[in-house]
Structure 1
Amino acid sequence: MKIVVIGGTGLIGSKLVAGLSERGHQAVPAAPSTGVNTLTGEGVKEVLQDAKVVVDVSNSPSFADDDVMTFFRTSTRNLLDAAGAAGVGHYVALSVVGTERLPESGYFRAKVVQEDLIKGSGLPYSLVDATQFFEFAGGIADSATVDGKVRLSGAAVQPMAADDVAAAVGKAAAAAPLNGTVEIAGPEVFRLDQWIGTVLAAREDPREVVTDPQAPYFGAKPDRELLPGPGASLAQTRLSEWLTRH
């Protein structure tokens, strides 16, 4: 079956394309580098011809509030219009656990808009909401570094490996539409400061992690909002295993 992966050359997308191809699907990576630009609409109609499923794992090139909102609103509308015209039978999108609970974050507000557009499109869909990726630890540390120290709250997080994210999205893409949302998460709960500190120590990064209850997380001040609900699907890869491999 032809499955078009929007953002198919990125971290999750490349893993997703490989996994779907191994399972016998015609997985087509779509990204600006392949001639498909969802923001301008270039190549979108063409790549979706004869596709049974479209999977959106793309991300905004800029996380500035206005830019990220423009990206998700415009690209999602372009994709939905083209998918409807092409008769795509299943629209799958990767989102984030807790988006609706952290409206202070411009990124999370934009993801809520994306999800609402998909839900209201009339197309059969599945939303896969994931927790933070292990691979994002370095970026989170960099964004929280002030005067050489990493200032993070002790909010509870349940991060997971990108390989497990891609596997879960691939499973959703190959299955019947949920017309709903599934949450996925890692097998362990950490404090945000603890998780990042563990990764930095493993990488021999000398930066000190300082616990600061007032430290924002991409514009928001989370408490339990980053944790999945009780019905979440839990991945198998533990942080220690991931650190050994990376």
Structure 2
Amino acid sequence: MFESYSGPIVIVAPHPDDETLGAGGFLLRAIEAGTPVHWLIVTGITTEQGWAQEKVARREREIAAVAEAYGFAGVHRLDLPSAKLETIPLGELVSAFGAIVKSVEPKILLVPHRGDAHSDHHIVYEAATACTKWFRYPSVDWTMAYETLSETDAGLFNSDPFLPNLFIDISSQLEKKLHITSMFGDEIGDFPFPRSLEAVSALARVRGAASGYTAAEAFMLLRGRT
């Protein structure tokens, strides 16, 4: 689908690694097709928030390495406090997201699933999807929700399950997605931890089996227009 668009893609990641777990193969395939992809990282960590200086420095190195590995057209960082987005008025988040959407003018906007277990994820969903109204953000043609291991699968919102209706072949991108996933250091653990290379690969295989590919990523298409 993205091969037909010359316009950019913006992926909204509540935390660094969400974009890779949920849509890393899609992003790599889009970039290979010549589509500019922008990474919007919503939260950040600082020593003022109580994080160790070593952890903060390591996170900075990880973000730089991951951005280079993908070849993103732009990295946009809001550096809001992790796990505390509920303390920020929703209108302020919408304004911050909206400024980036208007600046980049993406054709495709990728957002986390509303039913994810982490509060940051469903708050980001609410703010990001407010930036898809065609009469305010006319560039956005496609809005898609991705699934994030350890969050989407851990959500207990039975009334709001992740029901994929779009599968994208990432057979040729899976190995690089796994390599980039490994760059996130202590965010990635040993199987059966959900954020493990084995789990990421297994989910890609399961989504591939559901759609006739060797490996795939699954999305919920929330809105699409041509």
Normalization by structure 2: what TM-score? 0.43
Normalization by structure 1: what TM-score? 0.40
